[in-house]
Structures are given as structure tokens and as C-alpha cells.
Amino acid sequence: MSISAPSAASTVTVGQGPLSIAEVVAVARHDAQIVLDPAALDAVAASRAIIDDLAADPAAHYGISTGFGALATTYIEADRRAQLQVSLVRSHAAGSGAEVEREVVRALMLLRLSTLMTGRTGVRRVTAETYAAILNAGITPVVREYGSLGCSGDLAPLAHCALVAMGEGEIRASESRLRTAAAQNQAISTTGIAAPTIASAGDDSDDETLMSAASALALAGIAPLQLGEKEGLALINGTDGMLGMLSLAIHDLGALLQTADIAASMSVEGLMGTDAVFAADLHKLRPQAGQALSAANFRTILAGSPIVASHKGPECTRVQDAYSLRCAPIVHGAARDTVAHATNVAHAELASAVDNPVLTLDGRVESNGNFHGAPVAYVLDFLAIAAADVASMSERRTDRFLDRARNQGLPPFLAHEVGVDSGLMIAQYTAAGIVSEMKRLAVPASVDSIPSSAMQEDHVSMGWAAARKLRRSIDGLGRVLAIELLTAARGLALRAPLTPGAATGAVTLLVNAASGGPGQDRYLSPEIEAVVELVQSGRVLDSASAVTGPLA
């Protein structure tokens, strides 16, 4: 799932304050360039001085002069600490499986950089600058699907990124973009100056090749990091992977739920349903915030529909519509409220400085448990439940269109020649198969826990796993909605000479132009994929909004 932002920022400033979800999307998905706030860099340097003083102290300080996890009480001599940090990163870069998507890796690196810039981790200024330079050069570390338990944070995914900053491991990048970065950085030292802003090439992932991190850094003119005390820990001890995926999911679900209102409105119209159930006074009787927004969208989208008007008279004998039609604002609204709750959690996390140990405002270095991913994991699971339910209701509307006993006079399966053509019969099978998988994906990951690190880490969040399955669920939701749109657009076209409303008519024209509209059976898969692209690109939403104005 990758719904484009209408206008992504070209640059994002990273400082001591929180990033917004929109800024995360801009950097992760649209390659916005990063500018480091000079005042925040000064604060980073000041906090590093405290770490340097503690490193010189003969007393042991966790993460600075000790081992980690179950080895937290083991004192490490000063001449072995650089090796300690390198060993930590190398050993924790233990992921397995398929490569994680580019936008996810960029999001987690950006969010780790944001935490480094708070001044609460004790890293050196050059460490933050190097992360910014890697992102600006379009270098994407290879991060593997499996490896994170979500506590202590997303250790393995973050370690793969830290390994690249050290000049080790594998990456994907565009060689032409690396050379552009090198040309603009040629006279700039990576120490003592904020990461430069280079011209963004946009998402150049199609031009990316697999290469060694050492080669990529050399091509881009970025010096590999030599880690100091505590820096290995600071680079891997965070919930940035699951938070990055949560931020992307919130962005995408906002657009998909608006698209769900459009698709459901078209189904209400095409199935000769009533718009009376969307009246504002009815929904005020149950004052759920999301429900009111969704019902308002239904009223706006269906306003002035000739098809709806055609059966509003006393001659209409239908008592009430099926739940999948008249209850749609309630279900879509509940999903909206779930997204709102997840957004509140995300905003708190984006304002957090997650590390262990952490440098407090008064200069103490304290061990803590803030790296536990439970707050993020819970809402990731909650969103998967909401997405599955919205998709389930959408599939039921698609099925209703195809059943001549329930579709109010349309041909069976919306076939061109009944008995010869199958129409959209198997498109519904596809939607049903996706919904079935989404129901399995809605089983929460956050209730699971497998102890690790010799029982030091005896309860983990599984937040990374929750985020991974949510991404698949969001992709599924977009596909199920696309199949409903394909079906509803064909059904509305078959209602001629009756015509749909202005907004639904615009979407019907868009979808039928992409898919071919009613007619004899054709190779259906490309038509489904064409409508999926309309959903994922935001064109369906744009088409309706061009008529109605911005939807809620």
C-alpha cells in the first residue's frame, strides 16, 4: 500500500522537537531531504561531553563501560570499548528473510535520527550527521523481515542500519544519486557541520542496485563511523521500526477510509438503497465522532443522486437495507476512531526519546524500560482488526451486487450474456480470499511473548510483527475496496438510463475507463489491478473530492 501524499515537503528539519506523521511520510516515501537543526546539534555535542566524562570514571556505568543485557555488570576496560560497540552492532544485525521495504527502512532510520537529535542519547554530533547524510544520499540498508521481538526495541533492524553507517553490510542505492551526493559533498567534512541538503531525486528505488555499504559510502563521500562509548546501544535501542510502520499505516488508512465511504456510497446507490439512514439527526443519537464524519461523507457523496431519487416515493416497498449498506457509517466510523486513538499514541511516541540507558535533562545516565514496544504494538494490532472489519463489510456489498436475488434487478454476476459470461463472479472470490487472510492477520501479535537474553528480557512486545502484518492487511484493504469499486461502477453503468450522482458518477467514469466497464468477459486480473492502482494512488479519492470538496 502506498497512497501518495498530495504535496509532500521537499525538506524536513530534524531537531529536538517531534516529527509529524506527514514529515515521516515525506522522508520515507517521497525522499524529502533532511536538514539538521544547528541548535539541536549543539545540544547533542553538549550531552556527549557528559558521556565522555563518565567514560573516564573508574566506576562502571551501564552501556558506557559495561557489557549489555545479561552482561550488564561486566566492566569493560577503556581499550576494549570501541570493539565492544562494534561487536554489539555486528552481533545484533542478525535478521533473516526477505528484505524490508525501502520506505520502512527510511522511516526507522529517520526516527532513530530524531531520537539522536534530542540530546538524550549521548551520541556524538558526527553520528547524527552521518545518519542524515545516508538518508539524503538515498542509501537504504538491507534490513531483513525477521529478527525483532519489539523489546529492547527493534534491535536487529536498527543494527542492520548501524552496521551500514560503520561501512559494513549491504545496501541498495542508485549509483547516479550517490555520485551526485559525492559531488555536492566533496569539500565538506562529515565532522563539525550539519549534513548537507542535496537535490532530491525522488523515489529512485527502480534504479537501485545491491552493493556493499563500504562501496556506497565511498561513492557518496561519507566517512564510515568509528563508534565511541554508548553509541552502539544508542543506535539500536528504540522502537523506530514499529513506529515508522505505524506512521505510514495511519497516513494510508486515513485515505482508505475516505475511499471506503466512496465505495460504499456507490454500492448504496447501485443497489437502490436509501440515503435516509445517513441523516445527521439519526447519527446524533449515537454521538461517536468517527461515525458522524463517515455519515456526513455519505450524505455529501450521494447528494443529488438521480438513482436515489428514483425510488424515494411511496411506491418503494423496501422496509430497510441490509446491514452492509445502512450500518456502513457505524463500522467505518469505528475504524476512524481506532485510527484517531492510534494517532494519539503515535504523536506521543514521536515526541519520545527512547534509549537505554538515557541521558536525563539534569545530566544523569539512567537505565529504564521505555524501549518496550507495548504502546505501539497494541494499536498496530487494533488497526489490523479495524481494517479487516471494513474489508469484510466491503466484500459483502460486492457479493450483494452479484446475486440477482438481492441486487434489485441487475443481471446475475453483472454478466453481459447470462449463461455464457461469468461477469465479476471470480472477482468476488478474490475479495473473499483477501478478507479471509485479513481476518487471520487480525489475530493480535502483542499478546505473545518469547523470553530472550538469558531471561533478562523476559517479556517482549512483538510490535515489529504486529506492524509487518498490518502492512499486509492495509494492502489487502485497498484491494478489496478496489473490487467493490469495480463492481459498483459496473452496476451503476447497468442502471442506465438512470444516472448516478455527480461524485459517484465521476468515480464511475474513472473506474470504468480504467477497467473497460460492462461487456463480455475479458481477462479480469489486469482490470482489477488497474483499479487497485486508482485506489493506491489516491485518484479515486481525488475524483470524488473534485466534486464534493474535501471529505471528512
Name the residues annotated as catalytic. 62
Q: Who contacts 531 (Cβ-Cβ below 8 Å, separation ≥6)?
A: 482, 483, 485, 486, 511, 514, 515
According to DSSP, the residues that pair with 33 across neighbouring strands are: 11
Question: Measuring CA to CA, how many Å separate 257 from each of 22, 166, 168, 462, 481?
Answer: 17, 42, 42, 26, 10
Report the b/e string of 278-300 with b at 16+ CB within 10 A: beeeebeeeebebbbbbbbbbbb
Q: Does residue 201 come out as left (phi exceeding 0), alpha (psi in the -120 to 50 range) or beta?
A: alpha
SS3 188: coil
Question: Measuring CA to CA, how many Å separate 86 from each of 42, 80, 126, 168, 531?
Answer: 26, 10, 16, 10, 48
Taking the C-alpha atoms of residue 333 and residue 257, their distance in angstroms, rounded to an integer, is 9
Asked if residues 477 and 487 have their Cβ atoms less than 8 Å apart, the reply is no
User: For residue 461, what is its C-alpha cell?
Assistant: 512486545
Taking the C-alpha atoms of residue 58 and residue 175, their distance in angstroms, rounded to an integer, is 47
Taking the C-alpha atoms of residue 328 and residue 342, their distance in angstroms, rounded to an integer, is 21
- The amino acid present at 477, given as its one-letter code, is L
Hey, how many other C-beta atoms are within 10 angstroms of the C-beta on 220? 25
Instruction: Give the β-pairing of 33-36 and 96-99.
Output: unpaired
CA dihedral 209, 211, 216, 219 (to 10 degrees): -70
